[in-house]
Structure 1
Amino acid sequence: MDAASSSVLREPKSPLSLSAFKWSWLQCCQQTDRSQEGTVGGREGFNLLAPPQEPDDQVMFTHRPPIFGVMICSVRSHVDFKGGGKQLLLQPLLVPLFLQKGIKRPWSKKVGEHGVPFEEDPVDVEAQLIRGFFRRERVIRPRIDVFAYPNEYLKERYRFSKDSLVYLTRLLKPHVANVTNRGSALSTENILCIALRFFASGHFLYSVGDSEHVGKATVCRAVRSVCLALKQFLPTFVQFPGHKPLFIIKDEFHRVAGFPNVIGCIDGTHIPIKAPSINEGDYVNRKSVHSINVQVICEATQIITNVEAKWPGSVHDARIFHESSLCQAFQQGQYNGYLLGDRGYPCLPYLMTPYPEPEPGPQTRFNLAHSRTRAKVEMTIGILKSRFQCLRGLRVSPERACDIIVACVVLHNIATIRERATLLVLRKMAQRNTYRLYRPTETGDF
């Protein structure tokens, strides 16, 4: 007998009566397994298949109803347990179904042509419970047509407009589409919207599933597949120093507060997570909260150009930057410009920090321009966390938390780029309409 079954028979927990079972079946089993004895209720040498002294005799079982304890001892001599404990658990679950209809036990070698000699058709409560649990009817709830709702509804729940959802669907379809011929499979739009709803709300999985008419496991799979798909687009949408020419990036920062030659602002933010089971102390930050310390670098237009989401909360911001590949690139002279950081970073030839105790005059003006320009990264982090509320606290492992953070950064850049592109189009259309409205006539009048 293996350790699992022996522990079941060794430690009694609750008394259950054997008088609820048909004694005729126990007598039939006694003919096949008369020699099987076990330890039940702390009594050595007690034959499980022998009738008790009184009808209301109490026999102790640990984790299963009485029928399970009897079946474990009667079946073990006829089954070759090659697969460990699986067969030991599966076959007793099938026994009540055979007993209720009087079918022969297929694993027994001694019963032969005899069935189970019930005098009347019994009502097996355990069999009904097991059958009701394992044979649940599959219910497919109606799918939600997200494109039938207006843009205000979609932005509140998914943080994207209808056109942006169509763009994301086409972008992620090769990576998240279900390859199946079943008619009830989720479409790419449904998978994307389930993940976006989780990112935007940060609610529990079953709450997101109730909103999207799917189950909790379906929400978990959808979020995971979308995270892995967006992670592949990180080099495409998150590039340092940015997608625009370098002189345009410097000019945008210069127009903020007059600070010249700036190509990015750097800062760190903590994303709370649940306490991990491995190296739990490494993730406790200075506020005694388990978190992931994320390094973010952005442009003046709130577009994130670099992200490092792999360090525990106890690691300092300066070490994260020193260990990053971006720091090595600056040391090799690959970029012509400065980064602006707070006092938590060291002052380097390529990383400008404020004066700790500025004197009146140039140092005070330097700190003022520095703080006004560096505020862009704090604004960017605030927009990122307000857009995707799941970053307020993730109830997942650190590895999956890092994937979710990267996915939210990619979605943030996509949303920011599309919003600015839409604004530019609207601005050009407004200028064109204004020019047509006030275009001079042939007589020179407006």
Structure 2
Amino acid sequence: MRVICVDIHREKEALSDILISSDDENDIFIDRRPRVIKERINYFETLDDLDFIMRFRLSKNSVEELLLEIEHDLQQATQRNHAIQHRIQLLLTLRYYATGSFLISAGDFSGVSKTSTHRIAHRVTAAIARLARRDIKLPTSAEERAVAQVDFYATARFPRVISALDCTHVKVQSFSGNDAEVFRNRKGYFSINGIILADGGYALKPYLITPIQNLQTPAEILFNESQIRTRKNIERTFGFWKRRFPCLVAGMRFSVSHVLPVIVATAVLHNKARMAAETMPPDDPLLNI
């Protein structure tokens, strides 16, 4: 048995000739949509700096630098015509992070087919997430620790703090299956709980300071007020992170194995933006964020 693929836009006469000339009465004919090469816009040229940041949440310079870091991981051995440029692949993925919409929307925005869009988004995300060891870390050198301590002290005069610990819910669609309800949080929606000065939900450790329970003295009250105000830094950071990348609040529609790299990748990108002293991008007026 042969499978013969036929372009649905061929003239009927051509299809009839094929049917008549076939010497196998068991041939199966499949109508196949013609391959359409979509226009791939160079947004580096068509968008000014403000519109670019609004739509991709990073500046052009930051995107170019990021591309240099991950380009090796995006290399593919292919001889296909119309291969998708690495720059287009990165912008497609950033557009998804910036919207949290269906991947097909990011693909249409970038001129890429639905099938390629899924493959590209996950490959680029994995490449960015691999930068986490370098871009997500505690202060290590004496100089870095000193800078962190000064910054935290300026918040509420709490001494010798170099980091703050808390967790945040990243919204997802139900993963279905027997364990789906495991991911439903106390607020009623499905989420991944990511842990990034700690609150009372954490045990007191020599390296981790939590609020005092059962306050009795004015000094203890003052201690807790200072601790809580200092801890607010991480809560604000989570807010800025989610504001920069709305995919974290829109409800990702991936499996767990694909959601986790997105969380890590967007954290890497947020840290890069902060290190580059980039301001929070304005909201895209086309999005309800």
Structure 2 residue aligned with 1:292: 192
- Tell whether 2:225 aligns with 1:378: no
Distance 1:242 1:270, change over 3 A: farther
Deviation by residue 1:363-390 (Cα, 9 ceiling, x = unmatched): 1111111111100000110011110100
Question: How many Å apart are 1:181 and its aligned residue?
Answer: 4.0
Q: CA deviation at 1:399?
A: 1.2
Which residue of structure 2 lines up, in the alignment, with residue 397 of structure 1? 255
Query: Quick one: which amino acid aligns to residue 170 of structure 1?
Result: L
CA distances 1:369-416 after superposition (whole Å, capped 9, x unpaired) = 111110000011001111010011111111111111011111111111
Displacement of 1:156 in angstroms is 0.3
TM-score using structure 1 length? 0.55
Question: Are 1:279 and 2:176 an aligned pair?
Answer: no
CA pair 384-97 structure 1, distance change in 2 beyond 3 A: farther
Q: Paired residue for 2:43?
A: 146
Q: Is the aligned partner of 1:412 residue 2:270?
A: yes
Report deviation, 1:241: 3.2
**Cα root mean square deviation, aligned:** 2.6
Residue 202 of structure 1 corresponds to: 100
Tell me, yes or no, if the aligned pair for 1:178 and 1:186 is still in contact at 8 Å. no
Answering whether residue 5 of structure 2 is matched by residue 105 of structure 1, we say no
- Cα deviation, 1:223-261, whole Å, max 9, x if unaligned, reads 111111012211111122357522222222112211111
Secondary structure in structure 2 of the residue aligned to 1:274 = coil
Cα pair distance change 1:289/1:419, threshold 3 Å: same
Higher radius of gyration, 1 or 2: 1
TM-fit CA distance, 1:278: 4.8
Query: Greater relative contact order (Cα 8 A, min sep 6): structure 1 or 2?
Result: 2
Structure 1 residue 91 displacement after superposition: 5.3
Q: Could you report, residue by residue, the CA deviation over 1:76-101 in whole angstroms, capped at 9, with x for unpaired residues? A: xxxxxxxxxxx7xx75999x989821
Letter aligned with residue 115 of structure 2: A
> Paired residue for 1:346, among 190, 203, 207?
203
Q: 1:178, 1:187 within 8 Å by CA — same for their partners in 2?
A: no
In the aligned structure 1, how far is the partner of 2:80 from the partner of 2:210?
59
User: Structure 1: how far apart are the matches of 2:260 and 2:105?
Assistant: 22
Distance 1:103 1:142 in 2: 38
Tell me the distance in 2 between the aligned counterparts of 1:197 and 1:208. 6
CA distance in 2, matches of 1:102, 1:169: 53
Percent identity for Structure 1 against Structure 2: 30
The structure-2 alpha-carbon separation of the partners of 1:420 and 1:154, relative to structure 1 and needing over 3 Å to count, comes to: closer
Aligned to 2:283: none
Which residue in the other structure is 1:166 paired with? 64
Report the AA paired with residue 149 of structure 2. Answer: K
From the superposition, tell whether residues 97 and 172 of structure 1 become closer, same or farther in structure 2 (CA, over 3 Å). farther
Matches within 5 A, 1:78-227: 100-105=19-24, 130-131=30-31, 134=32, 136-148=33-45, 149-227=47-125
User: Structure 1, residues 20-61: CA drift from partner, whole Å, max 9, x if none?
Assistant: xxxxxxxxxxxxxxxxxxxxxxxxxxxxxxxxxxxxxxxxxx
Q: Could you tell me how far apart the structure 1 residues matched to 2:5 and 2:56 are?
A: 44
Cα separation, 1, equivalents of 2:105 and 2:152: 42
* 1:148-200 CA distance string (max 9 Å, x none): 12110111000111111111111111111343344411111100000000011
| TM-score, scaled relative to structure 2 | 0.84
Structure 2 CA distance, aligned partners of 1:138 and 1:279?
40
Alignment length (residue pairs): 267
Looking at structure 1, the residues matched to 48 and 155 of structure 2 have their Cα atoms a distance apart, in angstroms, of 36
Deviation by residue 1:317-361 (Cα, 9 ceiling, x = unmatched): xxxxxxxxxxxxxxxxxxxxxxx1111112222221112343451
Letter in 2 for 1:418: A
Unaligned runs of 5+ in 2: 7-14, 280-289
Structure 1: which 5+ residue stretches go unaligned? 1-86, 109-125, 297-339, 422-446
Q: Counterpart of 2:247 in 1: which secondary structure?
A: helix
Instruction: Report the AA paired with residue 40 of structure 2.
Output: R
CA distance, structure 1, for counterparts of residue 140 and residue 87 of structure 2: 30
